[in-house]
Amino acid sequence: MKGLEPPRLSAPDPKSGAATNYATSACYNLYMQLQIRAQIYELFHQPTFILMSLISFILLKILFVYFCLEIANNTLNLLADG
């Protein structure tokens, strides 16, 4: 038993509109996604962005060390008073 449909000698006739509209929409969506990704890539690879990220990272490290030292100092003061 081969199948339920009879064998075809040529490709079926294209349907009107549906597949074409879907393909056009899918291509446009892909194009827009690639455009957005390209813009994000450009944003994150600008020298200004990299410099600001580095400065932010260093400042966060400094704040972290400062607060750790404050906590340690407060703990030592509590132990000395107690």
Query: pLDDT digit string (tens) for 19-69?
Result: 556 667 878 888 888 888 888 888 777 778 778 888 999 999 999 999 999
Asked if residues 19 and 26 have their Cβ atoms less than 8 Å apart, the reply is no
Instruction: Single out the residue of 55, 53, 73 nearest to residue 65, CA to CA.
Output: 73
Determine what percent of the chain falls in helix, strand and coil, rounding each to the nearest 5. 75, 0, 25
User: Residue by residue, what is the 3-state secondary structure of 4-34?
Assistant: CCCCCCCCCCCCCCHHHHHHHHHHHHHHHHH
* Positive/negative CA dihedral, 56, 62, 64, 66: negative
What pTM does this model have? Answer: 0.41
- Domain spans, the chain: 18-81
